[in-house]
């Protein structure tokens, strides 16, 4: 059984980050099991491992700061296979501890092991994987010194893993913006012997312009696409009130630094009214406002902006003679798992997503989707991959009329679900081939893969003959729905997930 250290773990309140972890675990399980099962490597009769050991290192101890336990959905899914270590770096707001930790990192780099749990986990791992997403950026910092400190803090696990001679994978990332060109160069040079898989073209172009160009930098996809969704009935009452199916669309909202909430609510009001007035053409009866992310920080809590916009919609529609429209808008509440959200979005007629991973969950389900972009290249880049480059607008100045017109076309395009499935399968196959090739070819120490120790190099793993487009999709294996409802074993010290409240039933608030 391989020991995999996954760094930069974030709280399960963020359903997208949770899905990225799940997708990466499912992806690596299948990839490693496939390698282990090869007769030319493992020999006949070697049984596949029942998944691989995962040690998660949180990005900082901020993830423990909410009343709901971090990694609770991860633990339900993977049970005793997952442990959570102490973070390598404290949050930057704790300046003294942060600087002290940076000095400790310098000592580690110069003199070797210092005995901290995060360092030990990296040292003991067969493979270090940096959780994907939009982690590496510091362009919003006002002071250059603070931006340098943040960048080094983000890179600390990567630098420690390289010092320990580990193979390091960065799967499904978006980078930038950086405060200065020098910081961008430093960042890219730090990744020079890692596998860097970008999830969209804009980030990939940055890696190709690096000086020197990164030798293992290729274009793949967001790792949430690799999550094998499990059956869920968490939203049964939402999808079919009183047991009667009622077609719906979904809109996900988020706050953002500097966002004019009142102006945003007014634009969403115009959009919602237009969508519901076009409901016969769009095939819907209701519009669900879904808080996709619940924290862990205030700016990350979609419940607040969703409640604010919902209240505004109820008042505005009712006072303008739109009482019937007001009753058709509902606010969905609760703590759904990523599996439950995928299930909810799959049955929607379409989704307007501000939250980036609500867009990805819809694409996974073949649901027509329109994106409101709020940070960096991730939404425009991913949508472009699916031929939806025109179905993106900025969160702060979107045109509701244009969205409604585009959605009518998207809903009418009956070929879209099959196209989305094809694009995802191809991108996952390419990502699998990239990762497999890197693990076969990269120099480094031997790792324990399955029941024998194997050297991951050309001699042990000959290059594959099949092309990227012929590889099987990584997320095609059936999932055990019962396992998703099983709580994990007792949590280690510092992780309160085992004592956290179970997922609450979703609650729908209508007018």
Count CB neighbours of 325 within 10 A.
22
Average pLDDT over residues 323-337: 93
**Residue 248 token pair:** 């719906």
Stretch among 98-107, 227-236, 296-305 having the lowest mean pLDDT:
98-107
Q: Which of 150-154, 353-357, 433-437 is the most confident on average? A: 353-357
Q: What is the pLDDT of residue 505?
A: 42
DSSP state of 375: S
Q: Are 341 and 355 in contact (CB under 8 A)?
A: no
Is residue 50 in some structural domain? yes
Task: Identify the residue with better confidence: 120 or 189.
Answer: 189
Q: Are 132 and 18 in contact (CB under 8 A)?
A: no
Q: What is the pLDDT of residue 38?
A: 59
DSSP state of 464: P
Average pLDDT over residues 19-47: 72
Rounded to two decimals, the pTM is 0.82
- Read off the pLDDT of residues 234-246 as tens digits, 9 standing for 90 and up: 999 999 998 999 9
395 plus 249 within the same structural domain: yes
316 plus 178 within the same structural domain: no
Q: What is the pLDDT of residue 496?
A: 36
Burial label for 40, CB within 10 Å (0-12, 13-18, 19+), is exposed
162 plus 186 within the same structural domain: yes
Q: Are 333 and 509 in contact (CB under 8 A)?
A: yes
Is residue 259 in some structural domain? yes
Q: Are 313 and 272 in contact (CB under 8 A)?
A: yes
Task: Identify the residue with better confidence: 163 or 412.
Answer: 412
Cis peptide bond prior to 143, omega within 30° of 0: no
What's the domain count of the chain? Answer: 2
Average pLDDT over residues 405-424: 93
pLDDT of 357 strictly over 60: yes
304 plus 433 within the same structural domain: no
Q: What is the pLDDT of residue 169?
A: 95
259 plus 398 within the same structural domain: yes
Cα(362)–Cα(347) distance, rounded to whole angstroms?
A: 9
Residue 118 pLDDT class (50, 70, 90 cuts): low
pLDDT of 459 strictly over 50: no
363 plus 397 within the same structural domain: yes
Q: What is the pLDDT of residue 256?
A: 87
Strand 351-353 to strand 369-373: parallel, antiparallel, or no bridges (unpaired)? parallel
Stretch among 50-59, 68-77, 137-146, 367-376 having the lowest mean pLDDT:
50-59
pLDDT of 112 strictly over 90: no
Is residue 504 in some structural domain? no
389 plus 454 within the same structural domain: no
Average pLDDT over residues 136-155: 89
Of 210, 222, 121, the C-alpha closest to 170 is 222
38 plus 96 within the same structural domain: yes
Q: Which of 191-205, 277-291, 316-330 is the most confident on average? A: 277-291
Q: What is the pLDDT of residue 141?
A: 86
Task: Identify the residue with better confidence: 120 or 484.
Answer: 120
- Read off the pLDDT of residues 215-272 as tens digits, 9 standing for 90 and up: 889 999 999 999 999 999 999 999 999 899 999 999 999 998 889 999 999 999 999 9
pLDDT of 471 strictly over 80: no
215 plus 266 within the same structural domain: no
In Å, what is the CA distance from 1 to each residue of 49, 188, 384, 392, 412?
Answer: 6, 32, 38, 43, 48
In the beta sheet, which residues pair with residue 392?
371
Q: What is the pLDDT of residue 103?
A: 78
321 plus 205 within the same structural domain: no
Is residue 318 in some structural domain? yes
Domain boundary among 412, 437, 468: 412
Is residue 493 in some structural domain? no
Is residue 428 in some structural domain? yes
Q: What is the pLDDT of residue 446?
A: 39
Q: What is the pLDDT of residue 69?
A: 80
Q: What is the pLDDT of residue 66?
A: 61
Stretch among 129-138, 163-172, 436-445 having the lowest mean pLDDT:
436-445
Task: Identify the residue with better confidence: 114 or 179.
Answer: 179
Q: What is the pLDDT of residue 450?
A: 30
267 plus 299 within the same structural domain: yes
Cα(104)–Cα(97) distance, rounded to whole angstroms?
A: 10
- Read off the pLDDT of residues 178-191 as tens digits, 9 standing for 90 and up: 999 999 999 999 99
Instruction: Identify the domain containing residue 404 by its residue range.
Output: 236-367+369-412
Q: What is the pLDDT of residue 487?
A: 35
299 plus 382 within the same structural domain: yes
Q: What is the pLDDT of residue 211?
A: 81
pLDDT of 208 strictly over 60: yes
What CATH number does the domain containing 327 carry?
3.40.50.2000
Residue 323 pLDDT class (50, 70, 90 cuts): confident
Domain boundary among 359, 393, 412: 412
Average pLDDT over residues 469-496: 38
Q: What is the pLDDT of residue 58?
A: 87
Which three-class secondary structure state does DSSP give residue 177? coil
Is residue 465 in some structural domain? yes
Average pLDDT over residues 406-435: 93
pLDDT of 343 strictly over 90: yes
pLDDT of 20 strictly over 60: yes
Residue 359 pLDDT class (50, 70, 90 cuts): very high
Task: Identify the residue with better confidence: 322 or 422.
Answer: 422
Q: What is the pLDDT of residue 70?
A: 85
Residue 468 pLDDT class (50, 70, 90 cuts): very low
Q: Across the chain, what does the average pLDDT equal?
A: 81
pLDDT of 475 strictly over 60: no
Average pLDDT over residues 295-318: 92
Of 287, 296, 324, 291, the C-alpha closest to 307 is 291
Task: Identify the residue with better confidence: 105 or 330.
Answer: 330
Is residue 384 in some structural domain? yes
Q: Which residues contact 151 (CB under 8 A, 6 or more apart)?
A: 136, 138, 178, 179, 183, 186, 187
Residue 61 pLDDT class (50, 70, 90 cuts): low
């Amino acid at each position: 059984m391989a020991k995999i250290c996954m760094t930069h773990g974030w709280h399960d309140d963020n359903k997208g980050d949770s899905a990225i972890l799940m997708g990466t675990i499912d992806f690596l399980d299948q990839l490693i099991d496939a390698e282990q099962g090869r007769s030319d490597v493992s020999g006949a009769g070697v049984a596949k491992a029942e998944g691989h050991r995962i040690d998660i290192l949180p990005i900082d101890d901020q993830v423990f700061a909410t009343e709901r336990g971090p990694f609770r959905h991860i633990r339900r899914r993977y049970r005793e296979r997952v442990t959570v270590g102490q973070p390598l770096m404290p949050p930057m707001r704790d300046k003294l501890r942060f600087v002290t930790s940076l000095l400790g990192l310098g000592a580690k780099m110069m003199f070797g092991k210092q005995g901290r749990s995060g360092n030990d986990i990296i040292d003991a791992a067969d493979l270090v994987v940096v959780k994907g997403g939009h982690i590496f950026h510091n362009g919003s910092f006002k002071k250059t010194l603070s931006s340098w400190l943040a960048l080094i803090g983000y890179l600390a696990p990567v630098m420690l893993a390289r010092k320990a001679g580990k193979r390091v994978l960065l799967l499904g990332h978006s980078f930038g913006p950086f405060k200065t060109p020098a910081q961008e160069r430093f960042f890219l040079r730090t990744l020079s012997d890692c596998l860097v898989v970008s999830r969209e073209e804009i980030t990939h172009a940055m890696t190709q312009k690096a000086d020197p160009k990164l030798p293992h930098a290729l274009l793949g996809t967001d790792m949430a696409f690799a999550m094998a969704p499990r059956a869920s009935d968490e939203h049964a009452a939402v999808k079919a009130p009183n047991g009667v199916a009622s077609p719906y669309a979904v809109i996900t909202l988020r706050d953002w630094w500097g966002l004019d909430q009142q102006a945003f609510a007014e634009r969403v009001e115009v959009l919602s009214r237009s969508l519901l007035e076009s409901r016969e053409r769009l095939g819907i009866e209701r519009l669900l406002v879904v808080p996709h992310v619940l924290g862990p920080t205030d700016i990350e809590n979609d419940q607040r902006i969703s409640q604010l916009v919902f209240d505004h919609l109820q008042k505005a529609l009712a006072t303008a003679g739109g009482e019937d429209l007001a009753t058709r808008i509902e606010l969905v509440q609760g703590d759904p798992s990523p599996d439950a959200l995928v299930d909810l979005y799959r049955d929607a007629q379409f989704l307007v997503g501000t939250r980036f991973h609500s867009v990805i969950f819809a694409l996974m389900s073949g649901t027509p989707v329109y994106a409101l972009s709020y940070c960096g290249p991730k939404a425009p880049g991913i949508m472009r991959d699916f031929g939806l480059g025109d179905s993106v607008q900025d969160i702060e100045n979107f045109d509701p009329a244009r969205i409604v017109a585009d959605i009518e076309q998207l809903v009418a395009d009956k070929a879209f679900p099959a196209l989305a499935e094809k694009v995802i399968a191809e991108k996952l196959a390419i990502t699998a081939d990239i990762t497999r090739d890197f693990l076969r070819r990269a120099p480094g120490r031997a790792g324990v893969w399955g029941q024998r120790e194997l050297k991951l190099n050309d001699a042990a793993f000959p290059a594959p003959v099949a092309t990227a487009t012929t590889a099987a999709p990584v997320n095609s294996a059936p999932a055990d729905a019962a396992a998703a409802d099983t709580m994990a074993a007792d949590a280690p010290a510092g992780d309160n997930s085992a004592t956290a409240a179970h997922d609450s039933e979703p609650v729908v608030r209508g007018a």
